[in-house]
Amino acid sequence: MSTMTKQETEDLIQEVLEVYPEKAAKDRAKHLTANDQAVDKSSKCITSNRKSLPGVMTIRGCAYAGSRGVVWGPVKDMIHISHGPVGCGQYSRAGRRNYYVGTTGVNTFTTMNFTSDFQEKDIVFGGDKKLAKIIDEIEMLFPLNKGITVQSECPIGLIGDDIEAVSKTKAEEHGKTMVPVRCEGFRGVSQSLGHHIANDSIRDWVFPKSEGKAFEATPYDVTIIGDYNIGGDAWSSRILLEEMGLRVIAQWSGDGTLAEMENTPKAKLNLLHCYRSMNYISRYMEEKHGIPWMEYNFFGPTKIEEALRKIAERFDDKIKEGAERVIEKYRPEWQAIVDKYRPRLEGKRVMLYVGGLRPRHIIGAYEDLGMEVVGTGYEFAHNDDYDRTIKEMGNATLIYDDVTGYEFEEFVKRVKPDLIGSGIKEKYIFQKMGIPFRQMHSWDYSGPYHGYDGFAIFARDMDMTLNNPCWDAITPPWKRGSADVAEAAE
């Protein structure tokens, strides 16, 4: 099927909804829409950030995942205790592939799992004593940690433990930053509230301590906010900013440190990549410390050029020249990538379903390769994310919020995209259906995808997946009509 008209897309949505009971269909209908660029406010066509329907297969995570996994997890020189039963931390351990430099277990701890491993007796008698003991143990075994965060799992909120009190006492005793985070999994409707809670805990427990600390400022201090260094993303972004003459004083939070977070209120400009997970703290710093923030997009050369110029706008001529220089320098590099891969990928259609920023940010990178995104959606977006998405997507393309497993499969069967980008839970279903798939949360064990260096890898990966000869083997030879077989790139 080639492009669909708005009517066809709407019919498709209706058809998919038919199997639901009436009430459920009515509810789900609000989360699905055919894009219309003429709409200026997403709230008119799509509902988001609502509780998932009981009984459907949602792809969302919990608030604990948003705080421990996304925001706090990558802060490498702090130890994050998964406070509660062992599973929440263990099954998500190191899954996000936040790269960092350091010696794990000595001065950095990102891929390790620290947990209070709650047992029945801790639920019955409370876990505060155990928490205190763990903090002491950590101090003894890992003295080079810069601080500790307590990431609450569901039971903590249910039994009413006072993790704030424990953190306060222990912070004084050991003279370190200890952050209690009330990110119990049952709070809110998705991981999104976990981001917010984590942002607030930085505001309340990290910033007050850093006030008055000495810092040597330059007029070119910026920070990278909302880049989790998945497969090295923040690094391939950082070098571009540095090459144009800026000084990156903090990375939030991929490969980030506590000291960097403390320095952030001294920046001249906060650069926000993932709006969803860190807009809260950026807004706070704007109000409290007068630091402006701006969103940028480092996926694909077109968007990178746009972003570099937009960032340079905020500074003097030296930086503006720097931006042009960087753009010139990398042009031959990415042009070669486009020349090589575009002919192999031209016209292919992609469906996405990811998290915070990728469902809209990555569209440009696909378009640079001549591909088209025909459906996109977020697990946990809010209206402001969809406001930002409508303009990026073509008219009449599908937009789905908190899509259910069933809906996603049906959409795919009908839209027949050439490639799907989503998470690990979706991967094998679609691969078994014979559709090329990329895991777009952790870049399918690849990356980085940000910046010019990342684009080269992105293009290669997409080609590798789409034109992989294995897809021809899905249909057995006796059912095959013609015999066009894909070939790998040189």
Contact 225, 270 (CB under 8 A): yes
Residue nearest ligand SF4, Cβ-based = 185
Is the CA virtual torsion 352, 354, 356, 362 positive or negative?
negative
Tokens 């095959």 belong to: 480
| Contact map string, positions 137 to 156, toward ligand SF4, x by CB under 6 A | ----------------xx--
Q: Cα(63)–Cα(288) distance, rounded to whole angstroms?
A: 26
Task: Give catalytic status of residue 65 as yes or no.
Answer: yes
State yes or no: cis peptide before 253, omega within 30 of 0.
Answer: yes
Contact 33, 403 (CB under 8 A): no
Residue 41 touching other proteins (CB under 8 A): yes
Q: Which does 162 bind (CB under 5 to 8 A by kind): other proteins, ligand SF4, none?
A: none
| Residue 67: CB atoms within 10 Å | 32
DSSP classification of residue 72:
I
Sheet with 293-295, side-by-side order of all strands: 247-253, 221-227, 269-272, 293-295
Radius of gyration of the CA atoms of the chain, in A: 23
- Interface residue with ligand SF4, options 185, 265, 300, 356 (CB under 6 A): 185
Q: Which residue in 28, 31, 80, 195 is the catalytic one?
A: 195
Nearer to ligand SF4, 125 or 186 (CB): 186
Residue 306 touching other proteins (CB under 8 A): no
Task: Give catalytic status of residue 62 as yes or no.
Answer: yes
Q: Which does 376 bind (CB under 5 to 8 A by kind): other proteins, ligand SF4, none?
A: none
Nearest by Cα to 464 from 343, 345, 298: 345
Total number of residues binding ligand SF4 (CB under 6 A)? Answer: 6
Task: Give catalytic status of residue 96 as yes or no.
Answer: yes
Residue type, 121: K
Minimum distance from residue 55 beta carbon to ligand SF4 (Å): 18
Strands 398-401 and 32-34, how do they pair? antiparallel
| Contact map string, positions 296 to 315, toward ligand SF4, x by CB under 6 A | --------------------
Q: Which residue in 28, 31, 96, 344 is the catalytic one?
A: 96
Minimum distance from residue 281 beta carbon to ligand SF4 (Å): 22
- Interface residue with other proteins, options 294, 338, 429, 464 (CB under 8 A): 294
Decide: helix, strand or coil at residue 60. coil
Structure tokens at 242: 């540095």
Task: Give catalytic status of residue 488 as yes or no.
Answer: no
Residue 49 touching other proteins (CB under 8 A): yes
Residue 280 touching other proteins (CB under 8 A): yes
User: For the residues of 359-424, what is the DSSP string, one character each?
Assistant: HHHTHHHHHHTT-EEEEEEESS--HHHHHHHHTTSPTT-EEEES--HHHHHHHHHHH--SEEEE-H
Q: Which residue in 28, 31, 34, 62 is the catalytic one?
A: 62
Tokens 């694909």 belong to: 300
Residue 204 touching other proteins (CB under 8 A): no
| Contact map string, positions 446 to 465, toward ligand SF4, x by CB under 6 A | --------------------
User: Which residues of 57-187 form beta strands (DSSP E)?
Assistant: 78-83, 114-115, 147-152, 177-181
Minimum distance from residue 63 beta carbon to ligand SF4 (Å): 7
Q: Which does 185 bind (CB under 5 to 8 A by kind): other proteins, ligand SF4, none?
A: ligand SF4
Contact 74, 98 (CB under 8 A): yes
Minimum distance from residue 201 beta carbon to ligand SF4 (Å): 16
> What amino acid positions are annotated as catalytic residues?
62, 65, 96, 195
- Report the interface residues with other proteins, using CB under 8 A: 41, 48-49, 196, 280, 283, 286-287, 294, 382-384, 387
Contacts with ligand SF4 by CB under 6 A lie at 62, 64, 88, 153-154, 185
